[in-house]
Amino acid sequence: MDDIALTRRIFARSWQCLAHESQMADAGDYVAETVAGVPVLILRDADGIIRAFRNACRHRLSPLVADGAGACGAELSCPYHGWRYALDGRLKSATGFGPMDGFDARALGLVALPLKRWRGFLFVALSDAADDFDAWIAPVAARLTDTPLESWRFGARRTHDVACRWSVYVENYLEGYHVPVLHKSLDAEIDSAAYRVDVEDRIAIHYAPLKPERRDDAVYEGLWAWAWPNLGINVYQTGMMMERIWPMPDGRTRLDYLYVFADPAADHGATFAMSDIVTAEDKAICEAVEINVAAGDIAQGPLSPRHENAVLRFRELLDAARG
Please enumerate in sequence order all residues whose Cβ is within 8 A of that of 132, keeping only pairs 6 or more positions apart, or say none.
Answer: none
Give the DSSP letter of residue 108: G
Q: Least distance (Å) from ligand FES to the CB of residue 185?
A: 49
Alpha-carbon distance of 84 to 77, in angstroms, equals: 4
Amino acid at 8: R
Dihedral sign from CA coordinates of 181, 183, 188, 189: negative
Bond preceding residue 229 cis, omega within 30 of 0: yes
| CA 141-311-116 angle, 5° bins | 30
Q: Least distance (Å) from ligand FES to the CB of residue 59?
A: 3
Give the DSSP letter of residue 267: -
282 binds, options Fe ion, ligand FES, none, Cβ within 5 to 8 A by partner type: Fe ion
Q: Least distance (Å) from ligand FES to the CB of residue 72?
A: 14
Q: Least distance (Å) from ligand FES to the CB of residue 110?
A: 11
Q: Least distance (Å) from Fe ion to the CB of residue 285?
A: 8
Q: Which helix (H) or strand (E) holds 280?
A: helix 269-295
Which residues in 50-109 contact ligand FES (CB under 6 A)? 57, 59-60, 62, 78, 80-83
Q: How far apart are the first and last CA of the chain?
A: 9
Which residues in 282-311 contact ligand FES (CB under 6 A)? none
Query: 59 or 160: whose CB is closer to ligand FES?
Result: 59
Query: 78 or 197: whose CB is closer to ligand FES?
Result: 78
Strand partners, 84: 77, 93
**For the sheet containing 38-44, what is the strand order?**
68-71, 29-35, 38-44, 50-54, 112-113
Q: Least distance (Å) from ligand FES to the CB of residue 112?
A: 17
Query: 17 or 78: whose CB is closer to ligand FES?
Result: 78
Query: 82 or 114: whose CB is closer to ligand FES?
Result: 82
By CB under 5 A, residue 282 contacts Fe ion: yes
Q: Least distance (Å) from Fe ion to the CB of residue 172?
A: 6
215 binds, options ligand FES, Fe ion, none, Cβ within 5 to 8 A by partner type: none
Query: 22 or 62: whose CB is closer to ligand FES?
Result: 62
Alpha-carbon distance of 238 to 262, in angstroms, equals: 6
Query: 87 or 168: whose CB is closer to ligand FES?
Result: 87
Site size with Fe ion, rule: CB under 5 A: 1
Task: Give me the helices (H) in 54-177, please.
Answer: 133-143, 166-173
Query: 81 or 306: whose CB is closer to ligand FES?
Result: 81
Please enumerate in sequence order all residues whose Cβ is within 8 A of that of 261, keeping only pairs 6 or more positions apart, or say none.
Answer: 152, 153, 155, 238, 239, 268
Site pattern 118..157 for ligand FES (x: CB under 6 A)? ----------------------------------------
Residues that bind ligand FES (CB under 6 A): 57, 59-60, 62, 78, 80-83
Residues that bind Fe ion (CB under 5 A): 282
